[in-house]
Amino acid sequence: MPASPLFNQHLEHQACFTTVNDWQMPLHYGAPKAEYQALRHGFGLIDLSSRGLIRVEGQDRQRFLNAMLSNNTAALELGQGCYATFLNPKGHMVTDLVVYADEASYLLEVEAHVVPTFLEAIDFFVISEDVTFAVETEKWAALGVQGPKAPDALVAVSGQESVRDLAPYGNQSCRIEGHDVWIARRSYTRQPGYLLLVDPAAAETVWTTIRQQGEAFEGRAVGLEALDTLRIESGTPRFGVDMTEATIPIEANLQDAISYTKGCYVGQEVIARVDARGHVNRQLVGLLLGPTGLPEAGAKIFSPDREVGWITSATQSPTMQQTIALGYVRREALEPGTALQVRTDAGEIPAMVSALPFGEG
């Protein structure tokens, strides 16, 4: 099982661990409510070393990758990035990913468990192109700084005001406590946020510096439990949880990952047909479930006696003060306010369709 470079730090601060993508990662540090509030009002410092990282190099990398992915990666310049998907010829997802452009390469960020599947699938299309893919997941310690005061905290520790002005997925290098740090504007909850990559040998120093100096910005170390609650509240689907190999990206509201003007890519014909039709048969929505327990993933959704969908993620939301969930429902049940029922092993739960993000619309 891979070990985070920050594992000893987590032990020292009495983390409760969970397994993510075969990595042991902090679920919380004994105060999940306070960690949630830090993400909401200050910032959370999160170990994201379980994220998958792949370096793409070679003279044909730009042309090849643009012909593979759903977004326009050919337009990316040094220090820019974009969100995209890689599809099979039937328009179903192999994975979603973020593409970061470097001077002589691309860095791809994906779920770590998808890396082998992604590499096998994309290698099928490499014929004579000069393009290579190298896994760099364990080459870096990955840190997340997420929350409304994340820009203030990173400007304070790096001395780089330009960090504040990075566009989404934009990236640059800076130094923190004498160590080189790569910073990208990357949100996992639709709030301000960053992904930092640092040499594992420097990870503890950078982590401790941000943690200590970040106290002035209501920051603290945060586990994946609080991050996942904010993710669900924001309506952000996660591959392997809310999206699978059976998902068409439009079903998961991934319009930002798709260019409708760049031309051909793998699965493009299916996406174009769906766009021309103007709708999908099912779509990811929010569900308000009241003061109930958490329904299990896969729990069926009914309206009233007809099955119309299923649950993918659920959490107790401090902001909404009730249980909320993400799930897929058929298009006749998409309208916010639609009354549904979720059938679980413990019984039937009344549910109401909500706009996403929760609390808006």
pLDDT tens string 121-150 = 999 999 999 999 999 999 999 999 999 999
Query: With a threshold of 0.85, does the pTM exceed it?
Result: yes
CB contact burial 267-294 (16+ within 10 A = b; e otherwise): bbebbeebeeeeebebbbbbbbbeebeb
Q: What is the pLDDT of residue 74?
A: 95
Q: Are 80 and 194 within one domain?
A: no
Whether 131 is covered by a domain: the verdict is no
Whether 1 is covered by a domain: the verdict is no
192, two tokens: 């301000």
Q: How far is CA 353 from CA 265, 292, 331, in A?
A: 34, 16, 12
Q: Which residues pair with 330 in a beta bridge?
A: 282
User: What CATH number should be reported for the domain holding residue 205?
Assistant: 3.30.1360.120
Q: How far is CA 18 from CA 30, 47, 223, 224, in A?
A: 13, 12, 10, 9
Whether 218 is covered by a domain: the verdict is yes
148, two tokens: 């409304």
Q: What is the pLDDT of residue 304?
A: 85
Q: Are 170 and 225 within one domain?
A: yes
Whether 125 is covered by a domain: the verdict is no
Reported as a pLDDT band with limits 50, 70 and 90, residue 305 is: confident
Q: Are 350 and 290 within one domain?
A: yes
Q: What is the pLDDT of residue 361?
A: 53
Cβ pair 46, 181 in contact under 8 A: no
Q: Are 193 and 224 within one domain?
A: yes
Q: Is 70 exceeded by the pLDDT of residue 72?
A: yes
pLDDT tens string 186-238 = 999 999 999 999 999 999 999 999 999 888 999 999 999 999 999 999 999 99
Q: Are 144 and 44 within one domain?
A: yes
Whether 165 is covered by a domain: the verdict is yes
Cβ pair 348, 303 in contact under 8 A: no
User: What CATH number should be reported for the domain holding residue 345?
Assistant: 2.40.30.110
Q: Are 144 and 45 within one domain?
A: yes
Q: How far is CA 55 from CA 52, 207, 299, in A?
A: 10, 24, 38
Domain enclosing residue 162, as ranges: 7-49+140-233
73, two tokens: 């990666």
**Residue 38 exposure: Cα atoms within 13 Å on the Cβ side:** 30
Domain stops at, among 198, 233, 268: 233
User: What CATH number should be reported for the domain holding residue 89?
Assistant: 3.30.70.1400
Query: HEC string of the chain?
Result: CCCCCCHHHHHHCCCEEEEECCEEEEEECCCHHHHHHHHHHCEEEEECCCEEEEEEECCCHHHHHHHHECCCHHHCCCCCEEEEEEECCCCCEEEEEEEEECCCCEEEEEEHHHHHHHHHHHHCCCCCCCCEEEECHHHCEEEEEECCCHHHHHHHHHCCHHHHHCCCCCEEEEEECCEEEEEEECCCCCCCEEEEEECHHHHHHHHHHHHHHHHHHCEEECCHHHHHHHHHHCCCCCECCCECCCCCHHHHCCHHHCCCCCCCCCCHHHHHHHHHHCCCCEEEEEEEEECCCCCCCCCEEECCCCEEEEEEEEEEECCCCEEEEEEEEEHHHCCCCCEEEEEECCEEEEEEEECCCCCCC
Q: Are 44 and 166 within one domain?
A: yes
Q: Which of these, 358, 269, 344, lies nearest to 90 by C-alpha position?
A: 269
Q: Are 144 and 227 within one domain?
A: yes
Whether 180 is covered by a domain: the verdict is yes
Q: Are 95 and 14 within one domain?
A: no
Q: What is the pLDDT of residue 360?
A: 73
Q: Are 156 and 288 within one domain?
A: no
Q: Which of these, 312, 301, 315, lies nearest to 352 by C-alpha position?
A: 301
How many separate domains does the chain show? 3
Q: Are 40 and 154 within one domain?
A: yes
Lowest mean pLDDT among 18-22, 104-108, 159-163: 18-22
Q: Are 145 and 45 within one domain?
A: yes
Q: Give residue 294's identity as a one-letter amino acid code.
A: L
Q: Is the omega angle on the peptide bond into residue 357 within 30 degrees of 0, that is, cis?
A: yes
Whether 123 is covered by a domain: the verdict is no
- Cα 148-151-156 angle, rounded to 5 deg: 130
Mean pLDDT of the chain: 96
Q: Which of these, 336, 292, 337, 340, lies nearest to 316 by C-alpha position?
A: 292
Whether 128 is covered by a domain: the verdict is no
